[in-house]
Structure 1
């Protein structure tokens, strides 16, 4: 079965990675196109899911970089807004394990300026799932507009949310205050162990899943780095191991996991409603596939998710 379209809404971010400079008192940066929702849209398209991205793309040098990457990956930008504001920039420093710490330059940038008129024109008749999250969902003035868009989409499409908590840009209380409301809108909630610790410090993942189920989310997936992932479907739980790989960095790994999860569910016709036909065995298969997609992303520099052919080559190598 061919997967139906998935519509992703959110930000593009220029990820600038520090590199050795050629002279003293200089800082060299390598800039790659990123942003959690943009990474997810790119990964979906590369895996073979028709992916449409709702973004506000600046006309500056970074905005052109974003557009080129999205279009080269096969992402539909027919509803992207040509924004007058500048692009968002994040400067990343990697630790010894390849984990990134970001500093953001995001004041009054294009990604957060959604208006009701911009989203009112979007046709979701061919969309099986709407995915969003990260900063566009919580930063004002556009965050409330995005929430309203999700509420309007929910009767006709599966809704997926990744909070992708960024406390340097948004107060933690803002996420905590809105999360129960998001769970009421979402069928799928995917977040990282770092997100969990920020949102509910010291809370075991299983207990957190029950909290979010009670608020409305049917499928909750917490990615746990090298410990794999915990998936909970209406309180029925399973653990999925991580896929061993040589880690270059972990930038975009969670976004790729989300894309792999949604792609796998969509390809089996399980998106488009309230997940009523979804069973725990299918969740396990989807999470295992998602873990493979995330592992391939970790094996290369920056948020560079794999193409479908890369998954085929990996499966061939593993079967040899």
Structure 2
């Protein structure tokens, strides 16, 4: 079982090309998308969060169950669902404006030690920024890292970070408790406060502080992984991009799925992966993300779709 901890929200996505085009609600949130991706790929997964009892919240829970994600760790409350208003650039890349005050996911409570049978736990995005929930998730991260593989995708939303310096220090303090770090090139440079920095060298610095591997998403340039001894790159999958919403989350979910399928949900085993194994893992994750990019909103593929895309 892989537990994914963090927020669920609703993306308000443009459905036309006009300046004030109508917006359609799409279920999402970085951690939520990771959980859905895992469930759709056939991996036993559970979601840890607090979700509203409003209409959007009901739909969020319904979709988790339809994606075979366990909801026993989902807390419920009457607070509103977080909204993200999405703007799309010409290349399909997304920009977000968030409505987060007093929303349900910020009020999550510590569930205590995760159940026996949990193999890994994944964290990321708004849930690690917005208090009081951020401190709760941080507590879970530090506690579970002592016995499980922990995965982190910080997925930076700079507009919600009031004190970048303090957040960068907090991120650095997490690294000894992170087994697998996945992030975009842009996020890596933001976290290193180095707009034009060498992301490979940045990643190597982080490797020395804890993670077994750092996976970089590079948009149209594909994926890379940096370990203590190596660097592996895979090219992008060519696809007609509708939008990039949920692409990075799909990479996170697919990577964890590949690791589980290959008995590598363990820090030592991640460190021991060969170049050939990393190439296979990144190819799998890149193909999954390409499918997500080919359709509107965060719609990770099902296992059968990914198998077909990979020629299986």
- Normalised by the shorter chain, which TM-score bucket? over 0.9
Deviation string 1:178-232 (CA, Å, 9 cap, x unpaired) is 1211211101000012212322222111111111112211110110001011201
Determine the C-alpha separation between the residues in 2 that align with 1:37 and 1:190: 13
Determine the C-alpha separation between the residues in 2 that align with 1:146 and 1:204: 30
TM-score when normalising by structure 2: 0.94
Query: Please, which of 3, 7, 12 is the counterpart of residue 11 of structure 1?
Result: 7
Q: What residue in structure 2 maps to residue 242 of structure 1?
A: 236
Q: What residue in structure 2 maps to residue 267 of structure 1?
A: 261
Q: What residue in structure 1 maps to residue 290 of structure 2?
A: 295
Determine the C-alpha separation between the residues in 1 that align with 2:20 and 2:182: 39
The correspondence of residues 154-173 of structure 1 with structure 2, limited to 5 A, is 154-171=145-162, 172-173=164-165
Aligned with 2:159: secondary structure? coil
Give me the CA root mean square deviation: 1.8
CA contact under 8 A between 1:47 and 1:306: conserved in structure 2? yes
The correspondence of residues 81-120 of structure 1 with structure 2, limited to 5 A, is 81-116=75-110, 119-120=111-112
- Which runs of no fewer than 5 residues in structure 2 stay unpaired? none
Q: What residue in structure 1 maps to residue 176 of structure 2?
A: 184
Aligned with 2:181: secondary structure? strand
Runs of 4+ in 1 over 4 A off after TM superposition: 24-27
The worse-fitting range, judged by mean Cα deviation, of 276-285 and 217-226 is: 276-285
Deviation string 1:156-190 (CA, Å, 9 cap, x unpaired) is 21000000000111233343111211211101000
Determine the C-alpha separation between the residues in 2 that align with 1:276 and 1:170: 32
The correspondence of residues 189-268 of structure 1 with structure 2, limited to 5 A, is 189-200=181-192, 201-268=195-262
Determine the C-alpha separation between the residues in 1 that align with 2:173 and 2:216: 19
Aligned with 2:25: secondary structure? strand
Aligned with 1:155: secondary structure? coil
Aligned with 2:10: secondary structure? strand
Cα distance, 1:25 vs structure 2:
11
Q: What residue in structure 1 maps to residue 59 of structure 2?
A: 65
